[in-house]
Structure 1
């Protein structure tokens, strides 16, 4: 099968937003009046971002989910995406499953594939996603203010727990591993929550490289600090709800520095708590307050007695890992 046959069979669909479909040199997108385009790109490399044993349907889902998560953090509505795909060989069963997972998530968010490229090479997936947000209303990393509450969506750390189990550094019961691996392989982009937080949250970021590492980006851009409640860690690791017993140090490592969660960390003025909870209810997902933004720079994790934890929880760095 040649390149153009591959594209026609697995990635060509009726055009909607882009009148040219995927068969031209460029896609043509027109944002609605008064809207700004939000654009984000992510690259997934086999062995670096996903295991060779991952189910291709799940991989198709995750490839787009990590980009939709960026739109969610900016409170942008998904519109369209491009796909760049390097394949070591043409495997039609793999392509069918991958495209099925990809388009199932795309259809759920009315996000259209409008172009891309394919080539031979080590398995690598690059997606650029386009969204729209009313001009001046995007959530940014630079909006956190001293006194704001710090929140996170969903649960954290289960993806890291699954990765450690697959690496053989920890043993998990099969049922726990299945749930944790689903969080690793099929993250849920919090698009609905991001949209619901527009005009309520003061800043936001998606959690891809670890909670504290990503929150630190918000603090840097906003010129503030934060105190995070160490006691939130056991509440956020869903695997503990199965009765799994883990040392608290392992729990904190997974929750604070795990990565691959694709939840949202966001800030909001303390007087907007009721609105935050209403937004979470509208988006049908839980949120948890985990700390407070401070005028004093730096990120501190404190226990119930007010003591700062000495352990550092570094976020993932692609060039240091």
Structure 2
């Protein structure tokens, strides 16, 4: 199949796709969309490169899921409801016609499974030849004035995380060690965007971000964006970091500490609440208080004996991190 036949087969002529707000979808020069009255649009874009954002041998279905998930997680961090997305694919010449169709079929299996579960509709995109890369632009909506931001944290706010940090980093380490299944590998290969939690935090959270670069790095983004008048800091306790059975059963204590503080790829929501405020009751079981915002930088992490760690691990930075 040529480019246009592939687009028709895998991305245009798909029965059963919901079409709320879609006046014109795939097949024209651009999509025509109708936002919900009284809502603001929330837009995000991520590019995933083979060997950089996922292992070269990750199954195509997992790549499809993951490429959409990282964008939906950004919408979750803003408290948005997903609506539409665009997809740009670069497929390598090494894939001959048969393998290209097989890869696309598996990719779409993962991509559309998450799209259906999240209520997001593919409305257009592009396909080219080149090194394997996937770009997804996702658009969501939020009631006017209710979007969550990174910039509202204040001293005294409590710091919460919507799950167990470090599982995805442990899963990636397991993948490179030859493990191909299990809960930790699944946490890396198919992250679940916390859309319901983000929407429930509207009007509650003072700041919110999704953990993609590592807990400490992303908490640093909240503090820097919130500290326009003063340098904010935070105090975290290692003893308060939740640890699942799967995570506790792998690696040594030092590795788990590194994964939990700086591993990244969890796509959990990290958020702050004002004093006396708790997470929504329906979400409370999965949310864990891990510290508090302070009026003085930097971030301090206390060990189980209450002593601050002297050296904190660094999160991911594309232009500062190697490997």
The alignment covers a number of residue pairs equal to 308
The answer to whether 1:226 aligns with 2:234 is: yes
Cα distance in 1 between the residues matched to 2:283 and 2:129: 43
Contact 1:156 1:237 in 2 (8 A): no
Cα distance in 2 between the residues matched to 1:21 and 1:15: 11
Contact 2:23 2:34 in 1 (8 A): no
The answer to whether 1:31 aligns with 2:35 is: yes
The answer to whether 1:236 aligns with 2:243 is: yes
Question: Which segment is superposed worse, 222-231 or 258-267?
Answer: 222-231
Structure 2 counterpart of 1:247, from 244, 249, 252: 252
The answer to whether 1:271 aligns with 2:312 is: no
Q: Which structure 1 residue ranges, 4+ long, deviate > 6 Å from structure 2? A: none
- In structure 2, the partner of 1:114 is 123
Question: Which segment is superposed worse, 117-126 or 26-35?
Answer: 26-35
Cα distance in 2 between the residues matched to 1:108 and 1:15: 12
Contact 2:184 2:247 in 1 (8 A): no
Cα 1:318–1:63, aligned 2, differ >3 Å: closer, same or farther?
Answer: same
SS at match of 1:318: coil
- In structure 1, the partner of 2:287 is 287
Structure 2 counterpart of 1:191, from 195, 214, 225: 195
- In structure 2, the partner of 1:163 is 172
What TM-score, normalized to structure 1?
0.91
- In structure 2, the partner of 1:11 is 11
SS at match of 1:95: helix
Identify unmatched segments of 5+ residues in structure 2.
none
Question: Which segment is superposed worse, 78-87 or 99-108?
Answer: 99-108
Q: CA RMSD in A?
A: 1.7
Identify unmatched segments of 5+ residues in structure 1.
none
What is the CA deviation profile of residues 212-240 of structure 1, one whole-angstrom value per residue up to 9, with x for unaligned ones? 1011000000012111112134x335524
- In structure 2, the partner of 1:306 is 306
Contact 1:213 1:313 in 2 (8 A): no
Cα 1:155–1:238, aligned 2, differ >3 Å: closer, same or farther?
Answer: farther
SS at match of 1:114: strand
Cα distance in 2 between the residues matched to 1:257 and 1:277: 27
The answer to whether 1:98 aligns with 2:101 is: no
Please report how far the alpha carbon of residue 278 of structure 1 lies from its aligned counterpart in structure 2 after TM superposition. 0.8
Please report how far the alpha carbon of residue 71 of structure 1 lies from its aligned counterpart in structure 2 after TM superposition. 0.4
SS at match of 2:114: helix
Contact 2:24 2:33 in 1 (8 A): no
What TM-score, normalized to structure 2?
0.91
Cα distance in 2 between the residues matched to 1:279 and 1:272: 14
Please report how far the alpha carbon of residue 56 of structure 1 lies from its aligned counterpart in structure 2 after TM superposition. 1.2
- In structure 1, the partner of 2:144 is 135
Please report how far the alpha carbon of residue 257 of structure 1 lies from its aligned counterpart in structure 2 after TM superposition. 0.4
